[in-house]
Amino acid sequence: MTSRPIESSMDERRRFPPPETFRARAVVTDERVYEEAGREPEAFWERAAGDLHWFRRWDQVLDWNLPDARWFVGGRTNMAFNCLDRHLTTARRNKAAILWEGEPGETRVLTYWDLAREVNRCANALLSMGVRRGDRVAIYMPMIPELPIAMLACARIGAVHAVVFGGFSAEALRDRINDAQAKMVITADGGYRKGTIIPLKRNVDQAIADVPTVRHVLVVRRIGEAAAIHMVEGRDRWWHRALDGMRMDSPAEEMDSEELLYILYTSGTTGKPKGIVHTTGGYMVGTYLTTKWIFDLREDDLFWCTADIGWVTGHSYVAYGPLLNGASILMYEGAPDWPERDRFWELVEKYGVTVFYTAPTAIRTFIRWGADWPARHDLSTLRLLGTVGEPINPEAWMWYRKHIGGDRCPIVDTWWQTETGMILITPLPGITTLKPGSATVPFPGIEAHVVDEHGAQVPPNAGGYLVLRRPWPAMLRGIYGDPARFRREYWERIPGVYFTGDGARRDEDGHFWLLGRVDDVINVAGHRIGTMEVESALVAHPKVAEAAVVGMQHEIKGQALAAFVTLKEGVDSGGDVTDELRAHVTQKIGAIARPDRIMFAAELPKTRSGKIMRRLLRDIAEGRLLGDTTTLADLSVIQGLRERYEEDVQD
C-alpha cells in the first residue's frame, strides 16, 4: 500500500453521540481519561491492576525490550482467584455468575459460590491425575458450564489451557494438541448442534491415537447413551466420577505475572493458525478493565457475548473479563436458528439480557432472515450492543441499531485480535460519538497509527497499515514454540512497531476505519481500492445480504474486482440484478470500483469462527489451487463456488 488516498466516496456522515440517558449512568464519561492515560500509560494500567488481588505486588509496571514486554514484573497473582474468591467475601457470593441454556432447552444457574466450588473440585481432580503447574491441557468441549470451569481449574493450579473450538475436526484437534504438547484432554461425550450430536469424544480418540504426550482424557457426560462412546481403560475418566469426593477447596497457585495462562490458535483466516501465547498478570488487567469500561458493566447487568469460548472473544469476554468484574453472563450452547430463527431474541427476552455482543457475520445472517424474527420479541432490556470479528458494513450497523437496539442502544464496534488479547480500538459508550462502520478510537493508553511501508504516518483518510507503537498489558508474548515466526510476522515487517496485518484509514477526526487484511487492498488501474468499501457499497443495496470482494489479475487494469454476493431471502438473482449492482457500486464509489465479475452464492466460504475467507475466493478468481482449507466451516461451499465459477468463465 502507498499513502495515496483510497478511492472512497462511501460518504458515511451519520453520527450518534451517546444518548443523554445512557451517559447519565455510564461507567466512564470523563474524556480526560484519554489524555491522562496517553501521558502516563503505565500509571493508568497500574491503577487498574490495583483493583485486583495480588499475592505479591509488582516491582515494575513494564519492562519493554522489543519485542519482549513484561508487565507487572515480579508480581504474583492467580487468575481463578481473581475471578472467584475475590467475590466470595462480598455481596456477589450468591449472585448468578453463569446463566446457561442448552440447545435442547435445559437451563442451569451457577452462582459465584457454585462456580468456585466446581472449579476447586475440578482443580483437585486435575492434580490427582498428575497435572502440574506449567503442563498444557487441551480443552475440546461444547458451550457448557464445564468449559469455563475447566479453564478456571487449570488457571487455579497453574496449568496452561489450550482450548480448541468444538467445531474442529479430529485432524485439526490433533495438530493443536501436538503443537501444544498437551498432557491431558478435557472433553465431553458429545455436544448438540442444530439437533444433531457432535461426536467430540470420538474425535478425541481419533486425534490422540498416536499422540504420546496425552496421558488422560477427562469426559463430561453431556449426551449419555446416544453418544455411544468407548472409554479407554486407564486413560479415560468420567468428569463426574473424577470430581466425586474431591475437596471443595484447592489452594490457588501464586503465579508469576509472566507465567503462561493459555495458548490459543488463531482463526486461520489468512493462513495456517498460530498458537498465540498469553500470560497471567497483564492479560488479567487488560481484560478486566476493557470489559468494565467498554461494556459499561454494572452490578445488575446480564452480559451476553455470543462467541464460542473456543475463540479469543470467548476467552476474554465470555469467561475472564466478565468474571473478573463479578458480572452475570448468559451462556448458550447451540445455534441461532435452532429450533427457529429467533432463538437469540427469545433468549434475550427470556433472561432479560442488557448488554449483547456478537459478530458482523451473525448480523448479516439476521438481515438475510429478515427483521420479523427479532420483532416477535420484547428486546427492551437491551441497553448496549457490541460487534467484533470483521469490519461491520455501515448498513449492517444501522440494521443492528434499529432492529435489535430499538434505535436507543449505543453500538461498540471493537477491533482486536487473538494476539492483542483485549479490545484495542473501540468507542467508550458514554463518551464516543459513533459513526456506523468505524471502530472509532484507541482505548485509553493504546497508541495506534496508520502508516506506510516505511513506518511513516500517512495523512488523514489515506489508507495504510494499522500498527501499534507501544506495548499493552494483554499483548501476546509469542507464538508457542516459534520465536522466529513471532519476530517475523509481527515485529520485522515494519521495524520497531507491532504489525497487525490489517489495513486501515484514519479520518479527519482521528477515527479508525478498518479496511480488512492488508492483502485485501488492491490496485485497479493505479487506484487503491479497499475491497471492504466495495463490499459495504454492495451490502447497502436493498437486495444484498452479504458480499465478498477480491482482486484478480487483469491484463489491462493490473487488477480487477470479482464480487461474490449473497442475496436476501426471496430475492431472485435472475434478470438484471448484476447490472443493477454494478450501477449501484458506480454510483456509491465510482466506475473504478465496479466489479468485473459478480457471482451469486447461497453462502460464502467462512472460517469456523464465521469470517469470510477472501484468500480462498482470490484463489478461485485467479484459477489457482486452493490454499489451506483446514479451518473452513464447510468445504462444500468453496468447492461448489469453484465449479460454478469455472463453468461461468467458459461460457
The CB-of-439 to ligand ATP minimum distance in angstroms stands at 5
Q: How many CA atoms lie within 13 A of 551 on its CB side?
A: 23
- β strands within 392-474, DSSP E: 411-413, 448-451, 463-468
Q: How far is the CB of 579 from ligand ATP (least distance, A)?
A: 31
Shortest spacing between CB 503 and ligand ATP, in angstroms: 9
Quick one: residue 9, left, alpha or beta (phi over 0 = left, psi -120 to 50 = alpha)? alpha
Strand pairing report for 544-554 and 558-567: antiparallel
- Closer CB to ligand ATP, 21 or 433, in the complex: 433
Q: What's the closest the beta carbon of residue 440 comes to ligand ATP, in angstroms? A: 10
- Residue with C-alpha cell 495458548? 263
Point out which residues pair with 107 in neighbouring strands.
101
Q: Evaluate whether 606 touches 633 at the Cβ level (below 8 Å).
A: yes
Q: Which 8-state DSSP code applies to residue 440?
A: B
Q: State how far the Cα of 642 lies from the Cα of 649, in Å rounded to an integer.
A: 11
Q: Is residue 494 a contact partner of residue 454, using CB atoms and an 8 Å limit?
A: yes
In the complex, the smallest distance separating the C-beta of residue 435 from ligand ATP, rounded to whole angstroms, is 13
Residues in contact with ligand ATP by the rule CB under 6 A: 266-271, 273, 311-312, 388-391, 413-418, 439, 500-502, 514, 517, 609, 611
Rg of the chain in Å (alpha carbons): 24
Tell me the β-bridge partners of 136. Answer: 160
CB contact at 8 A, 556 and 580: no
CB 271 → ligand ATP: shortest distance, Å? 6
For residue 644, CA distances in Å to 157, 569, 623, 628, 651 come to 53, 21, 12, 20, 11
Nearer CB in complex with ligand ATP: 169/586: 169
Q: Which is nearer to ligand ATP, 120 or 417 (CB)?
A: 417
Between 381 and 630, name the residue whose CB sits nearer to ligand ATP.
Answer: 630
**CB of 387 vs ligand ATP, minimal distance in Å:** 6
Give 267 or 559: the residue with its C-beta nearer to ligand ATP: 267
CA 294 to chain centre: 15
Cα torsion for 255, 258, 259, 263, to the nearest 10°? 130
Which of 493, 558, 500, 562 has its CA nearest to residue 528?
558
On whether the CB atoms of residues 221 and 188 are closer than 8 A, the answer is yes
Kindly state the smallest distance separating residue 423's Cβ from ligand ATP, in Å. 9
What are the cell numbers at 273?
493458525
Cis before 67? omega within 30: yes
> What's the min distance (Å) between Cβ of 438 and ligand ATP?
9
The values of phi and psi at residue 144, to 5°, are: -125, 160
